[in-house]
Amino acid sequence: MKISQIIISLCLACILVLACATQALAFCGFYVGGADAKLFNKASQVIIARNGDRTILTMANDFQGAIKDFAMVVPVPVAIKKEQVHVGKRTTIEKLDAFSQPRLVEYFDPDPCADTRLNESATDTRAVPSAAAPIQRARKAQGNLGVTVEDTFKVNEYDIVILSAKQSDGLETWLRQNGYNIPKGASELLSPYIKQKLKFFVAKIDLQEFDKSGYQLLRPLQIAYESPKFMLPIRLGMINSRGEQDLVVYVLSPKGRVELTNYRTVKIPTDKSVPEFVKSEFGDFYKATFQRIYEREQKKVAFLEYAWNVSNCDPCSSDPPNQTELREAGVFWEGNSDPSSQPSIRSRRPIAFGNTFITRVHVRYTRNKFPEDLMFQETGNQENFQGRYVMRHPFKGNLSCDAGKRYKQSLQARLEQEAGTLANLTGWSIRDIYTKMDFSITQPKKAEGTTPFWRNVWNDK
């Protein structure tokens, strides 16, 4: 069976929820580049908007293959009704990705010969930031398979069936009998969800509706539900692959930062000064940096890449999401964060977004290193954090004054330190790094008008 034919949500691979040194002062600068989720070939993206027990999750379908072969199976904590399902916009996930991605910012050293003295230790120079076959209805148990069709319905181009099951091999058999191409051995990974008495949200594409829609790519599916379970069932997403998979989760909450409870959440390296040439190689730089810390942490932790209130950013890699974009991402709460005082998640009352906090968690997982699904918790921590890398351009004007001479002496040490930092972050060869760096400004210049010493000996012109 070809990989392109083996699709079971795996929209997480792909499935979803059930669900500077330390960052301190605001830091203004010129944003010049970012590391988005598209850098990683097998990356899946999920948005979780959650307050209390109420959740709206958005699943990005980056399925590669014939649309007719697409199918998605998502464990959900409760039976989902038609009115709880919505087809979203790919631009919603793209917006949150652009807003929260690790970023490169640049600064320009001031003229050391100007009236103001150069503060060589300063790294917070202020500047103005630049600114995701119709199903035959049946409501009885399917023979001896122990599978019950709880509901079937259509939402735009998606045909959806809600299943419950008593045994995993019965569910696997039912899926095969009903035209879902799933890999062998799926029952092993389906079993834990059946034991938890979870339901299964199964989606296919209605080809006629898809063709009429005019869309070239699958649109994200959104599900709203209420449950105390706050988890992401990544284990089912491993049916299709035993290799490494990347998952980027954008969690929106009025209560602050979200972290995992069953795996450590580690901050990615941040506030590191890197050489100027990284500007043109930032994608490769961040992939190497992520792989390096992933290996150092023994490949079994989650990484925090961003945590900030969505109403502002510093520096901004894109404009903050507006009210419409946040509503499209699932934000349903008002100013009061007490869930008991919130309107229904289907309420159309006006919404205020000043208290929405976004947490970006990046997980690279394999079957053997992540034996459990991801379990989340809201921490209430409002501390800002961002993956940020700093590029400082040396001053290249007249440095003939005493302060300029001192600046050149300190610059040599700074460039060497930047090279060492880059080598440590990425594992790149220090020799290769040096060949890409410009040290010419630190070298003494030949005085104009002087005669080379050999001219007087050889009388050459």
pLDDT at residue 118 tops 80: no
Residue with tokens 């979803």: 16
Q: In the structure, what pLDDT confidence band is assigned to residue 453 with cuts at 50, 70 and 90?
A: low
In-domain check, residue 255: yes
Distance between first and last Cα of the chain: 78
Question: In the numeric block, which tokens belong to residue 436?
Answer: 């890409």
Domain range enclosing 222: 3-447
**Is residue 459 assigned to a domain?**
no
Residue 218 pLDDT > 50, yes or no? yes
In a domain, 461, yes or no: no
Choice between 349 and 154, residue whose per-residue pLDDT is larger: 154
Q: What are phi and psi of 427, to 5 degrees?
A: 85, 5
Whether the pLDDT of residue 337 is over 60: the answer is no
Summarised one tens digit per residue, pLDDT across range 386-407 is: 999 999 999 988 888 888 888 9
> Residue 455: inside a domain, yes or no?
no
- Cβ within 8 Å of residue 454, ≥6 positions away: 460
CB 16 within 8 A of CB 233: yes
Pull the structure tokens for residue 287: 């992939």
In a domain, 457, yes or no: no
| Domain assignment of residue 338, yes or no | yes
pTM of the model: 0.80
Identify whether 400 is part of a domain: yes
**Distance (Å, rounded) from C-alpha 14 to C-alpha 263?**
19
- Listed in sequence order, the residues at least 6 apart from 69 whose beta carbon sits closer than 8 Å to its beta carbon are 4, 5, 7, 181
Q: 252-287 pLDDT, tens per residue?
A: 999 999 999 999 999 999 999 999 999 999 999 999
Please indicate whether residue 449 or residue 182 has the higher confidence score (pLDDT): 182
* Average pLDDT estimate for 227-239: 82
Query: Would you state the pLDDT for residue 452?
Result: 67
- Nearest-angstrom CA–CA distance, 142 and 93: 38
Strand partners, 147: 165
Answer left, alpha or beta for residue 164, where phi above 0 means left and psi between -120 and 50 means alpha.
beta
Domain count along the chain = 1
Where does the pLDDT of residue 14 fall: very low under 50, low under 70, confident under 90, or very high at 90 and above?
very low
Whole-number pLDDT of residue 18 = 35
Q: CA-to-CA distance for 328 and 88, rounded, in angstroms?
A: 7
Q: In this predicted model, what pLDDT tens digit does every residue of 27-43 receive, in sequence order? A: 334 556 788 877 776 67
> Is 454 part of any domain?
no
